[in-house]
Amino acid sequence: MTTNRKPRELEDRVLTERPKQWMPPELLPEPDKEVGYKYRWIRVSTLNVADPRNISKSLREGYEPVKVEEQPKFKLLIDPNSRFGGNIEIGGLLLCKTPEEFVEQRVKYYDDLTRQQTEAVDNNLMRQSDPRMPLFKESKSSASFGKGT
């Protein structure tokens, strides 16, 4: 007996798909990635009060503002009264990018700084430790099982 079945390639999966659900909008949309760059939203103002210190620090770190032409999907989201004309600013945050090498160097710098500070704290604590009453006592516990009677 042969059964007449449609080949699997011809079956339509649209009928079996779950209906899409409403989701709240993202506060900050994700930019289209460019190879070799990392993106970050940098604060330029809080409650309509400018924060030039933060933006100038970020620019000195190597971040550069992203132009609207580089990310055309943001064209409708831009504030027309922005101080940064031609760049992407949403809610007091400016979209900036930096080369991936800078991000890796920054992460390495802060990892090394954290490691040095941790070693300094550990050395300071161990200097104050007395063998008669150590600060860190390594203790081991063991369990033994008796024979049942």
Which is higher by pLDDT, 110 or 133? Answer: 110
Beta pairing, strands 37-43 & 49-50: unpaired
The radius of gyration computed from the CA coordinates of the chain, to the nearest angstrom, equals 29
Sort 54 into a burial class: Cβ within 10 Å, 0-12 / 13-18 / 19+.
middle
- Within-domain flag for 33: no
Cβ atoms within 10 Å of 40's Cβ, excluding its own: 16
- Within-domain flag for 80: yes
Whole-number pLDDT of residue 24:
81
Sign of CA dihedral 64, 67, 70, 76: positive
- Within-domain flag for 8: no
Both tokens of 68, joined, read 């609207």
- Within-domain flag for 146: no
The domain of 75 spans 38-99
Confidence of residue 136 (pLDDT cuts 50, 70, 90): low
- Within-domain flag for 14: no
Interior/surface letters 20-33, b for 16+ CB within 10 angstroms, e for the rest: eeeeeeeeeeebee
Q: What percent of the chain has a predicted confidence (pLDDT) above 90?
A: 24
Count structural domains, the chain. Answer: 1
Range name among 12-16, 55-59, 85-89 with the lowest pLDDT average: 12-16
Residues 6+ apart with CB under 8 A from 37: 97, 98, 99, 100
55: left (phi > 0), else alpha (psi -120 to 50), else beta? alpha
Whole-number pLDDT of residue 14:
58
- Within-domain flag for 119: no
